[in-house]
Homo-oligomer: A and B are copies of this chain.
Amino acid sequence: MPATKEGDRVNFPSYPHEVLAVVLSVRDGRLCVLLWKRARSPHRDRWALPGGGVESTERFREAITGHLAAKVDVRDVAHLEQLATHSRVDRDPRARVLATGYLGLVPSDVEPDLPSDTAWHPVEELPRTAFDHHHFIEAATGRLRAKLSYTNIGFALAPLEFTIAELRDLFGAALGYQPGATNLTRVLTRRHVIDPTDRRASSGQSGGRPATVYKFVTRELTVTDPFAVLRPPR
């Protein structure tokens, strides 16, 4: 850090800064978050979010990716975005630690093998979590639910290819209610979020008409007509 003149130095107070990842995925029909069990004090034996400090040459995104790698194959994380930064003085009993949350999403069909201290937990029946981590989890689920309805973020929860029934169940788990399959199809196709392929799924266990296989048009986050109201003139 070149400090040329005396008056040029930054003399703002410094704080340890951590990044925390709320990795969400639909497991077994339920929206789950990836947690690991702390082996050491403080908050020993409580479940915590993956995360940790930020190295001096790292940006947040690299830092969170690095910490995440200890718990899960980061190539399985299809989407990652920043949440809010918390500044509560006592969120960590040991020292004042600032924390920036991240939302990560893993498609429902990938099955990363996890370390023995790590597991998926349904967000509807969370165990006691360490520190203030539940705040981050709430923020993350809220963000996911909001974005499901005005972005294509579903791509990060769904397999590369899927049927409408599967997608409806995914949305159902993530949103907390089941959208109608008819409407879901119409809405997402009209917005060019998903596209039918020319193949059909082999009709499952109990017979029935084979479903069309769909895929997301793009697997990068796009906002679809974000503000349906107070539109600009055309």
Residues of chain A at the chain B interface (Cβ within 8 Å): 1-3, 5, 7-18, 40-42, 52-61, 63, 82, 84-85, 87-89, 92-98, 100, 145-146, 148-150, 171, 175-177, 179, 183-184, 187, 226-230, 232-233
Contacts and interface: CB of A to CB of B under 8 A. Distances in A.
Chain A binding site: helix, strand, loop or mixed by DSSP?
loop
Residue of A5, A14, A18, A89 with highest tally of chain B CB at under 10 A: A14
B16 A13 contact: yes
- How many copies of this protein are present in the complex? 2
A181 to B, nearest CB: 12
A96 B232 contact: no
The 6 closest A-B pairs by CB, nearest first: A12-B53, A12-B16, A14-B14, A149-B227, A60-B87, A85-B85
B10 A16 contact: yes
Nearest to A3: B94
A42 to B, nearest CB: 7
